[in-house]
Amino acid sequence: MRISERPFRWWCLMVLFLGMGSLRAETTRVIALSWRDVVGKTRSHNLTLQIAYQDYRFQRMEEWKAFSTFLPQVSYQGVGTRNIELPEFVFQINGLTQRVRVGTRYNVLHTFQLNWPLFTGGKRWAGWRAQRELRKSLAEELRGKEATVILNALQSYYQILLGEMLVRVNRSALKAARVNLNQVEKFYQVGTASQLDLMRARTRLAELEPALLSARHQKQLAVENLKFLLNLAPEDSLVVLDSLQIMDFLGPLARWSLADMMELALQHRPELQMMAHTARAAGKQRTIAASRFLPSVALSASVEHQAQVDQLYPAATDYVRVKRALLTVQFPLFQGAQRLLDYQQARIQHKKMQLQLEQFKQQVLLEVRRSYFRFQETSRKLEGLKEAANESAESLRLARLYFRQGMATQLEVLTAQLQYVQSLLNYHRGVFDYNMSQLQLLQAMGQLDRIVQEAAPAGSRSVLEGREKSVD
């Protein structure tokens, strides 16, 4: 029996499509996320934090390099020489010229040398302390970046929840607008509604469709941004497990006064601690510049084994041992005022860092004030938005009831519906703003990392905590 060519091609294409679909299904992951999962994955998978941690590792190696200058340096040198033509010396003895070649065909030299700086005017100690302060500065910078990235991730997550609520509200409003349009059309057919009422109902339906599309796009953009922050593949599918509701991120901190919050920020803000360590490192650079005015003392010792032979491989008895020990004191007297100028530049740089630190303290206090007042504003505003949403819902119910009984016009129903949808959207945005204002206030106080660690899943650690002991 002969198989026709066309059905065979169709079967091959079908098998190919099914195979591609199964391969895509294997590579696509469905990831369920709560806000706690977002915190954990951000701390361990975000690429910005991974890059910052590599900078921290690099600086830690710099600290060890600075510490290694306290240790002596031991070196070995081996030299093998093949004298192709030996040097010739000419002597005049009793009027006769004598020519003598000196040396052997092969010279072999083995040298072990030790160099140990004993005193450098405090340069090594200050250099090590400077690198140590820079390492601490990068650690605080990493913690500050972690708090910022977590805040951005939580903001994207709650934007997804807000987008879902906006889609749900607009979809419900669109459905109500269609029901209203059908009802107006029936009334128009029996003559109880005017053509103007019909046109208003159609206009209202046309206005809600773009709003629903815009809400869907906003949600999709928030999803893509969250995938980027969590270092997830674009083809992965996210499923959010929470709903948009009022959260209590501040806890007992919400009852603190503004003065206490400002004091807490000065003590725990990572960026402020980072600049303090950087300023101290600049002070150590001034000490390094001052150390150039003091003498340096170094100890050197060497052991040499030299053999001068005519054969290629010397014997052990052919070697001659030489030992040396040197104590070197070096005191630069005049270098064209270069040392003085370097010291003055180091002082200026240190003063500049101190001024920048003071300026940043004022910025931190201003940020705490701004975040505190925003939290107070969103907290009080949320109560009014909730009450307005309840009132508009009751107004819409009464308007629909009166319209069915002929006691209200279509314009009143549309107005009540518009007010209800707008008040409901404003309430959900108010919940989002209230939650974000708490997180922003926590970050301004330098407490976002501590609160997040308490709320993070068990076993979740930051990049610095999880990899501190894994440095080679």
At 4 the pLDDT is 46
d(Cα 71, Cα 118) in Å, to the nearest integer? 10
Q: Which of 57-61, 350-354, 367-371, 415-419 has the lowest mean pLDDT?
A: 415-419
- Average pLDDT for residues 317-325, to the nearest whole number? 91
3 occurs within a structural domain: no
Structure tokens that stand for 349 in this block? 């740089």
- Average pLDDT for residues 302-317, to the nearest whole number? 89
178 occurs within a structural domain: yes
Pairing of the two strands 319-330 and 30-33 = unpaired
**231 and 343 together in one domain:** yes
For the domain that residue 247 is a member of, what is the CATH number?
1.20.1600.10
**308 and 395 together in one domain:** no
Structure tokens that stand for 368 in this block? 């705490």
Burial 4-14 (b: 16+ CB within 10 A, else e): eeeeeeeeeee
**284 and 371 together in one domain:** yes
2 occurs within a structural domain: no
- Average pLDDT for residues 223-236, to the nearest whole number? 90
- Condensed to tens digits (0 to 9), the pLDDT of residues 25-50 reads 446 788 888 888 888 888 888 999 99
Q: How many CB atoms lie within 10 A of CB 201?
A: 25
The structural domain count of the chain equals: 2
**Among candidate residues 330, 351, 378, the one where a domain is terminated:** 330
In terms of residue numbers, what domain contains 262? 28-71+120-295+338-461
Backbone φ/ψ region at 251: left (φ over 0), alpha (ψ -120 to 50), beta: left
Contact of 406 with 183, CB cutoff 8 Å: no
pTM above 0.75, yes or no: yes
**191 and 90 together in one domain:** no
At 351 the pLDDT is 93
467 occurs within a structural domain: no
**310 and 399 together in one domain:** no
At residue 153 the predicted structure's pLDDT band, cuts being 50, 70 and 90, is very high
35 occurs within a structural domain: yes
**385 and 237 together in one domain:** yes
- Condensed to tens digits (0 to 9), the pLDDT of residues 73-132 reads 999 999 999 988 888 887 777 777 778 778 888 999 999 999 999 988 888 899 999 999
DSSP string across 41-105:
HHHHH-HHHHHHHHHHHHHHHHHHHHHGGGS-EEEEEEEEEE-SS--EEEEEETTEEEEEE-S-S
Task: Give 193 or 423, the one with higher predicted confidence.
Answer: 423
Structure tokens that stand for 5 in this block? 């060519």
d(Cα 126, Cα 284) in Å, to the nearest integer? 5
Average pLDDT, the chain: 84
**Among candidate residues 286, 305, 330, the one where a domain is terminated:** 330
302 occurs within a structural domain: yes
**213 and 92 together in one domain:** no
- Average pLDDT for residues 153-161, to the nearest whole number? 93
At 298 the pLDDT is 92
d(Cα 139, Cα 464) in Å, to the nearest integer? 8
**224 and 311 together in one domain:** no
**262 and 282 together in one domain:** yes
**428 and 285 together in one domain:** yes
21 occurs within a structural domain: no
Task: Give 390 or 469, the one with higher predicted confidence.
Answer: 390
409 occurs within a structural domain: yes
**45 and 146 together in one domain:** yes
**62 and 104 together in one domain:** no
d(Cα 28, Cα 438) in Å, to the nearest integer? 35
